[in-house]
Chains A and B, each alone.
Chain A
């Protein structure tokens, strides 16, 4: 585990965790080695007519992540992430910070599959 993406509407670790992936406002990427933060917008996902999850997946994979933490992940997004070797964790923590702690404490289990239907 090296680079972890969290879905969020905010700009820092204290921001709320967005329950959606495809239509999330942006992604906060946490580098475990450097202990640094990078925020990237989810323009493509938000603007997509369909296949928002695919666009979002493309965005985060291109940013070099290997882990995703979000509320829910739909079938198309999951397919793309799995093929790119990204582990997905579903989490209902209120903030990115809490979610990060849950993840590092080993309290989250890697998802085996998507957990909501598309267009959720």
Chain B
């Protein structure tokens, strides 16, 4: 749990209800201007984009596997206990030898536990890859789901398992508020919610705030493409006691730099300053909410 980690190992997650608000842009630029060595976990395993910008040199992929049962035909007596327990149709037995469907298995181990003849053994089954690399002061951990695999959370959990316990971490979350995001946010200390001042942005921000409350996570807001607040974003944040940690202007230059795969904080000095300030503010917020530093 969070308490067991060392003093300097706080985890900041960057998420948003809506896709495309700039989560990855914020996570990357924050990491670049963090002012000390930091880890960046790319938890958007369906579409991991962080390395497109960091272009780490050594990024060797390791397999992420999940334990999936295998049937020993000599021992299986077709009793059906495994199929009866399985909630996901990962294993089926209709009076005949049990059949396994690895793509539906959730890796719970239940079937092997109830098998009366010991006919089921569990074996690692590939669901994605994890790659670790270094780019300057940023240690990148990228999770990548295998195309066609539908179960996402186990790959995200594998990314989190690679986090070192004594270096601060920024977690780039997938969009939305459902199971992949929850898997990312578990054991985080602070949540940065990125939004834009549009009706879609505000609507989805509210969903994300509801999730943060459900998980008991303190959070703050970054407004991207900020301009005239025509949707009441500021009054909403005030009412919910959400600090607005940074407002990035609706500057076409940011879009252009990012579209090329570059970091605005490094390309344009005024933004470098803004992200440095964001880092400082976040460390301050963490001290307030009782997380480190």
Contacts and interface: CB of A to CB of B under 8 A. Distances in A.
Interface of A: 48, 50-51, 54-55, 57-58, 61-62, 76, 79-80, 83-85
Nearest to A60: B94
19 contacts: A50-B88, A50-B104, A51-B88, A51-B89, A51-B104, A54-B92, A54-B101, A54-B104, A55-B89, A58-B83, A58-B92, A61-B94, A76-B101, A76-B104, A79-B99, A80-B92, A80-B99, A83-B96, A84-B96
Contacts of B89: 48, 50-51, 54-55
B150 interface: yes
A54 to B, nearest CB: 5
Contact of A83 (B97, B104, B150): B97
Chain B: interface secondary structure? loop
A83 B94 contact: yes
A10 B90 CA distance: 30
Q: Which 10 A-B pairs have the closest CB atoms?
A: A51-B89, A54-B89, A61-B94, A83-B96, A84-B94, A51-B104, A50-B104, A54-B92, A84-B96, A83-B99
B269 interface: no
B104 A62 contact: no
- Which of B83, B97, B104 has the largest number of chain A CB atoms within 10 A? B104
Interface residues of B, number: 14
Interface of B: 83, 88-90, 92, 94-97, 99, 101, 103-104, 150
B76 to A, nearest CB: 11
A51 to B, nearest CB: 3
Given A50-B88, A80-B94, 10 more contacts: A51-B89, A51-B90, A51-B101, A58-B83, A58-B94, A61-B94, A76-B104, A80-B99, A84-B95, A84-B96
Nearest to A79: B99
Tell me which of A50, A54, A85 has the highest count of chain B C-beta atoms within 10 A of its own C-beta: A54
A65 B172 CA distance: 51
Contacts of B88: 50-51
